[in-house]
Amino acid sequence: MADSLDRRDFFKGAALGAAGLVVTAEKAADAVAAPAPPPVTLPTDPHAHDLAYAQAQSTVTTPPTRVATQGRPASDFMVDVLKKIGFEYAAINPGSTFQGLHESLINYGKNTAPELLTCLHEEAAVAMAHGYAKAAGKPMLVAVHGTVGLLHSSMALFQAWADRVPVVLIVGHHRNPSGVINRPHSAQDMGLLVRSFVKFDDEATNLERFAEAAMRAYKIAMTPPMGPVVLTVAAELQESIVTNEPRIPELVVPAPPQGETAAVREAARMLVASDNPLIQIAKLGRTPKAWDLLIELAETLQAPVDTLGYSSWQKFPSWHPLYGTGGRGYTPDVTLGLEVTDMSAQARAARASNRKTISISAEHLFQGSNIHDYGRYADVDLAIAADAEATLPSLIEEVRRQITPARKTAIEARGQRVAAAHKAGQLDGIREAKYGWDASPVSVPRLIAELGDQIAKDDWAIVSGHQFTGDWQRRLLNHDKPYRYNGDCGGFGIGYDTPASVGGALAHKKNGRLSVAIVGDGDLNFSPGVLWTAAHHKIPLLFIVHNNRAYHAEVMIIQRMCGVRGRGNENAHIGNVIADPDPNYAQLAKAYGMYSEGPIEHPKDLAGAYQRALAKVRAGEPALIDVVSQPR
């Protein structure tokens, strides 16, 4: 491809022919050897905004590079910075505003650490990085085109923001755009486009500032509460020549803050004195250590652990005797929230009934947001502005210190009651899988139970969320390792699961884990191109399409709205169903080069399909099974 032609500027030969300017990729490539660009005649009207004029101006003002760059390209230095940070992967969708960096990554950087992942949409690239970060515990780099690429990224940046997950994104642009088509890809303030939902953005004006900005961006992304960051890097800077190479600073990520000693002691006192304590968690689990620490705290207190709903990372074993809310009739007198973004409802309820709430969270350090996900004001009884994971060791130690023999007896008795109630409730929950067991379309519990049977001997990880499959995963599969479940999107937007699953699976690949994603048909249709990315990069992952042929949540809410307004319910499906014709997702996957089977409508056909697909996944390939399923 001619490097003078922006990916999105490249107009097909037919259009160019109309203006008498036939510039093809091959001719542009040939022109590299020529001493000077061919003469070009511009249209006489310089204000003409027709296609020919735009193309001609673009061709004239950004000619192909015909002379080898003399000296060290600045983007090579940038690659050294990125390598020092330690990025393993860079998810990109190409664009001319970062062509300098792109070339340096693949040639100077030898396409390793970071290795480029070719993505077919920028939202998919960022969502992959989102899923990867939660599974790998560190950010993936993303590089996107100026304005257009960043705007495509924006939804996924929002999801990462809402999920408090680190992503480092580089966006290119032109400081001094000279072409009609380059100008829309540049901005006075690029970061403004996404500033409402990134934690930090910066534009470096020289290489020294770039190195510092990159280190700072990574540090900020990884400091709780974590979040996505954006670095704008001008094409002029990328393509300049290093004249006085600056030092690359060391990456220093600060240790997250622990809770203040007296406050932790008070929290321990309240918990030890409590008759019915409850632990609630959400964005807890930056590292696998949090898993063990939380088990230790829960067992020391014999307190039930409520992993809350879809916005939680749910880092607690689902078949643990303390997993749950304590059983019927268990009314917590002290609720401890660990990285629970919004405890306002718990606090209000507690104050209305003389109960207590404690919040330990980095959210208290949060400086503000245009997005209302921080919730209402939570007047908890004790708020500790600290990273909960970093605070757990001191809290556990203090709880242990304060437990008297008498309290220990009471605590142990409580644990037995809670465990018995949880076990009975969970067994009943499992038994409910019987409903619709042989139904066609396939029931969600059948879909999951058949899967669980086949991966029982694998070291598996569910890399999709469970927003649309209810709690069946945690009922039917024993989430006994911190990586068994990778969490939901964070911002309750569709289109996360499919690409984020590929990122999660990539992180698990080097550990030999078997990754499975259960994605909705609605979700898959937002970024189906990521199936090609998984196939191209040989990322082993079983996609199970929970194909209910609709946005079923929306069917339900429009039904309700129809009812509220008394205008009949017969039209509620309009705009909500994905049928007639019924998309064939197995064929879609095949088109992207992925092994697939389906649509499977009868549960008796599931086991065989899973077996064949899992054989492919275990051999290192992705595969997809399209299951026509009950709504939820």
By CB under 8 A, name the binding residues for other proteins. 319-321, 419, 423, 426-427, 430-431, 433-439, 441, 443-444, 449-450, 452-453, 476, 478, 550, 552, 555-556, 559-564, 566-570, 572-573, 630-632
Q: Which residues pair with 623 in a beta bridge?
A: 542, 595
d(CA 394, CA 401): 10
User: For residue 563, what is the enclosing H or E element?
Assistant: helix 552-565
Omega of the bond leading into 599 within 30 degrees of 0 (cis): yes
Tokens of 173: 């642009």
- Identify residue 606 by its one-letter amino acid code: L
Of 36, 56, 61, nearest to 45 by C-alpha is: 56
Least distance (Å) between residue 605 CB and other proteins: 15
User: E strand or H helix at 335, and its extent?
Assistant: strand 334-338
* Residue 399 Cβ vs other proteins, minimum distance, rounded to whole Å: 22
Measured from the CB of residue 306, what is the shortest distance to other proteins in angstroms?
17
Nearer to other proteins among residue 233 and residue 572 (C-beta): 572
Q: In the Cβ-directed half-sphere of 605, how many Cα atoms lie within 13 Å?
A: 15
- Alpha-carbon distance values, 441 to 280, 436, 526, 627, 632 (Å): 36, 9, 23, 8, 11
From the CB of 373, what's the least distance to other proteins, in Å? Answer: 23
Q: How many CB atoms lie within 10 A of CB 287?
A: 12
Laid out side by side, the sheet with 622-628 consists of: 460-462, 514-520, 541-547, 622-628, 595-600
Comparing CB distances to other proteins, the nearer of 127 and 572 is: 572
Dihedral of alpha carbons 418, 419, 422, 424, sign: negative
H/E element, 123: helix 122-136
Answer yes or no: are the C-beta atoms of 519 and 528 closer than 8 Å: no
| Per-position b or e across 311-333, b if 16+ CB within 10 A of its CB | bbbbbbbbebbbbbbbbeebebb
Nearest approach, Cβ of residue 138 and other proteins (Å): 32
CB of 595 to other proteins, least distance (A): 24
Instruction: State the Cα–Cα distance between residues 56 and 15, nearest whole angstrom.
Output: 11
C-beta of 425: minimal distance to other proteins in Å?
11
Measured from the CB atom, the residue of 75 and 576 that comes closer to other proteins is 576
Asked if 201 and 191 count as a contact pair (C-beta separation under 8 A), the reply is yes
- Integer Cα distance of 232 and 145 in angstroms: 10
Shorter beta-carbon distance to other proteins: residue 408 or 434: 434
Q: Quick one: 145 or 414, whose CB is closer to other proteins?
A: 414
Q: Which is nearer to other proteins, 67 or 574 (CB)?
A: 574
The token pair at 287 is 């590292």
Return the number of the residue (423 or 481) whose C-beta is nearest other proteins. Answer: 423
Q: How far is the CB of 452 from other proteins (least distance, A)?
A: 7
What contacts 268, CB < 8 A, 6 or more positions away?
395, 398, 399, 401, 402
CB of 497 to other proteins, least distance (A): 20
Which residues does residue 545 pair with via DSSP β-bridges, in sequence order? 519, 626
User: Are 226 and 130 spatial neighbours (Cβ–Cβ below 8 Å)?
Assistant: no
Q: Cβ 561 to other proteins, closest distance in Å?
A: 8
Pick 101 or 555: Cβ nearer other proteins: 555
Q: What is the 8-class DSSP label of residue 442?
A: B
Taking CA atoms, 375 is separated from 346, 369, 590, in Å, by: 12, 11, 43
CB of 570 to other proteins, least distance (A): 6
- For other proteins, which is the closer residue by CB, 90 or 444? 444
User: Of 98 and 551, which CB lies nearer to other proteins in the complex structure?
Assistant: 551
Place of tokens 């990109």: 92
The single-letter DSSP state of residue 222 is: H
Q: Which of 117, 134, 123 is CA-nearest to residue 493?
A: 123
Please report how close the Cβ of residue 543 comes to other proteins at its closest, in angstroms: 21
> Shortest gap between Cβ of 364 and other proteins (angstroms)?
33
Tell me how far apart the alpha carbons of residues 281 and 271 are, in angstroms, rounded to a whole number.
15
**Closest Cα partner for 6 from 193, 151, 146, 194?**
146
For the chain, what is the largest distance between any 2 Cα atoms, rounded to a whole number of angstroms?
95
Residues near 26 by beta carbon (within 8 Å), at least 6 away in sequence: none
Closest CB to other proteins among residues 394, 443: 443
- What is the nearest approach in angstroms of other proteins to the Cβ of residue 323? 10
- Shortest approach of other proteins to residue 319 CB, angstroms? 4
User: With respect to other proteins, which residue has the nearer C-beta, 25 or 439?
Assistant: 439
Check: CB of residue 181 under 8 Å from CB of residue 58: yes
Dist CA 80 CA 76 (whole Å): 6
Q: Which residue, 413 or 427, is less far from other proteins as judged by CB?
A: 427
**Considering beta carbons, is residue 364 or 632 the nearer one to other proteins?**
632
114: left (phi over 0), alpha (psi -120 to 50) or beta: beta
Nearer to other proteins, 401 or 602 (CB): 602
